[in-house]
Amino acid sequence: MNRILIVEDEGTIARLIEVSLKRAGYACTVAHDGVAAADLIEAQDFDLALLDIMLPGLDGYELLEYLQPMGTPVIFITAKGSTRDRVRGLSLGADDYLVKPFEVEELLARVGAVLRRAGRGGQTLTAFGVTLDVVARQVTQNGSPVDLTPREFALLEQLMRNRGAALYRDVLYERVWGAELTDTRTLDLHIQRLRKKLGWQEQIETVYRVGYRLRREDDTPPARGK
Ligand code: CA
């Protein structure tokens, strides 16, 4: 089930969006101001964010900056329909733009299209010939099943959901083990096992002083040192 963050300070509109998306089978989290939204973005990961632009606290443009390093797609939802605002949102990297008032059908069509483009449609994540089925909790590589422990599975899911982003060790640990990081060795060992099982020595990069990053398909290969 795709997880969607809705950030909208007008209660009736927030509720309309939430109800429509839930009915269509999405899991929704609602924030009514920019600061609450930023806290949620730090604590959880989302497949898509719907952002109002004019918000108390931080505005939609600032929230977009929070979301971009995580590779989370963004649709702006706003009353500002002028061409200038539209161009600004898109040039900053938003994936789409929806002007209030809008029809529910249009909202659903755009959400579906952006998720598909981002490779997050449905219940599977794919990267380098590996498919991870979030619901069936199965992983296959070029069609053959890969045997992973529950921790390895959760770790791989985090890397695939945040593909291209450098994930901090403590963030990864907290999301997979549900506890604060005290010893990085456990995490590093699990990464090593995952690399070995998938043959992903280069696909899972070690990011100096940060943690780990799953490469994107179109990344140029890392320069090889001696
Ligand atoms: Ca607003």
In this structure, what DSSP letter does residue 209 have?
A: T
Centroid of ligand 1 to alpha carbon of 37 (angstroms)? 13
* pTM assigned to the model: 0.60
Residue 28 token pair: 């929704």
pLDDT < 50 regions, the chain: 225-226
Centroid of ligand 1 to alpha carbon of 10 (angstroms)? 6
pLDDT on residue 150? 92
* C-alpha span between 20 and 26 (Å, rounded): 9
pLDDT on residue 85? 75
Q: Which residues pair with 198 in a beta bridge?
A: none
* C-alpha span between 204 and 159 (Å, rounded): 8
Centroid of ligand 1 to alpha carbon of 183 (angstroms)? 43
Residue 79 token pair: 């009353």
Q: Which residues pair with 5 in a beta bridge?
A: 29, 49
Centroid of ligand 1 to alpha carbon of 54 (angstroms)? 4
* C-alpha span between 150 and 11 (Å, rounded): 39
* C-alpha span between 102 and 110 (Å, rounded): 11
Burial 176-210 (b: 16+ CB within 10 A, else e): bbeeebeeeeebeebbeebbebbebeebbbeeeee
pLDDT on residue 226? 39
Please give the span between the terminal C-alpha atoms of the chain, in angstroms, as a whole number: 44
Centroid of ligand 1 to alpha carbon of 2 (angstroms)? 24
* C-alpha span between 30 and 141 (Å, rounded): 36
Residue 205 token pair: 């990069």
pLDDT on residue 70? 81
CA 29, 215, 65, 34: dihedral to nearest 10 degrees? 20
Burial 6-22 (b: 16+ CB within 10 A, else e): bbbeeeebbebbbebbe
Is residue 168 within 8 A of residue 176, CB to CB? The reply is no
Centroid of ligand 1 to alpha carbon of 13 (angstroms)? 10
